[in-house]
Structure 1
Amino acid sequence: MRTIIDIPDEQLRRVDTIARRRNWSRAATVRKALEQFVESQPDDFDAVLDKAIAAWSHIEIDGLEWQQRLRAEWDSSVSAE
C-alpha cells in the first residue's frame, strides 16, 4: 500500500544516511524502521495501560495533589541543605 507522510528534513537526512550505509532504498529503510517499531509494541496495549493505571489505584488523592505533595517534599529537602 502506498501512503504519503511528512518527515522532518533532518530526520529524512538521517534515514538517507542509514539507507546509503546499508545499501538499501529509502523506502526499504523506512519499512524496516516501521517494522521494528511495530514489533516493539505490546500486542495488547490497552491491557498494559490498564495495569499501569491499576498500579496507582491505591492512591486516594488526585494527580495534582499528589504532585504538589511530592514537590513540597523536594522543596523542604532543598531548603534543609
Structure 2
Amino acid sequence: MRTIIDLPDADRERLDSLCHQRGLSRAEGLRQALRSWLDHQGVQHQSVFGLWRNRPEDSLSLERALRSEWEH
C-alpha cells in the first residue's frame, strides 16, 4: 500500500541522515520505524491485560479505599 505523510523538515532531515548512514531508502526506514512502533504498542497492551483480575476487592471497594487516602 502506498501512503502520503507530511513530515516537518527537521524530522525529514534526521530521517534522511539516519537512512543514509544505514544504507536504507527513506521508505524502508519508515517501514522499520512503523514496525518497531507497532511491536512496542502490542507489548504494552499484552503486559497489562488482566493485571488486576486476581485482586481480592471489587472495583468499587478499591476505588473507595484509594480515595480515602486523599482525605488524610
What TM bracket, shorter-length normalisation?
0.5 to 0.7
- Pairing of 1:25-40 with structure 2 (within 5 A): 25-40=25-40
Structure 1, unaligned runs of 5 or more = 70-81
Task: For residues 9-60 of structure 1, give each alpha carbon's deviation from its aligned partner in whole angstroms, at most 9, with x where no partner exists.
Answer: 11111100101100111001111111111111126839947758xxxx5233
Could you say which residue in structure 1 is the equivalent of 2:56?
Answer: none
Could you say which residue in structure 2 is the equivalent of 1:13?
Answer: 13
SS, match of residue 42 in structure 2: coil
SS, match of residue 7 in structure 2: coil
SS, match of residue 4 in structure 2: coil
Give the whole-Å Cα distance in 1 for the aligned partners of 2:12 and 2:6: 10
Q: TM-score, normalised by structure 1?
A: 0.55
RMSD in angstroms over aligned alpha carbons? Answer: 3.2
- Runs of 4+ residues deviating >3 angstroms: 43-52
Counterpart of 1:34, as a letter, is L
* Number of residue pairs aligned between Structure 1 and Structure 2: 61
Identity of aligned residues (%): 34
